[in-house]
Amino acid sequence: MNSSEAEHIRQACLQVAIEAYEQGGLLGLCQEGRFELAMDAIRHLTLAPFCDEDRESASRS
């Protein structure tokens, strides 16, 4: 993994965390609940689109 790929993963994690945190606010969750929702979103983030193997096999098709 190069630094560009790592940055894409970091940005994806930040994006899903922010979206989940904001959604938690709309749902009326407390700060702790919003944080837990954000962490759960990161835990369940699908990383397959960021994997070299997946991109290489897709480019060969």
Q: What is the DSSP string of 43-57?
A: HT---GGG-HHHHHH
Residue 19 falls inside a structural domain: yes
Is 43 within the bounds of a domain? yes
Q: How many CB atoms lie within 10 A of CB 38?
A: 21
Count of domains forming the chain = 1
Cα–Cα–Cα angle for 6, 8, 13, rounded to 5 degrees:
95
Q: What average pLDDT is seen over the chain?
A: 87
pLDDT tens for each residue of 29-58: 999 999 999 999 999 999 888 776 545 544
Q: Binning pLDDT at 50, 70 and 90, where does residue 61 land?
A: very low
Residue 26 token pair: 């709309």
In a domain, 61, yes or no: no
Kindly report the pTM of this predicted structure. 0.76
Which domain range does residue 16 map to?
A: 3-56
Instruction: Please indicate, yes or no, if residue 21 is contained in any of the structural domains.
Output: yes
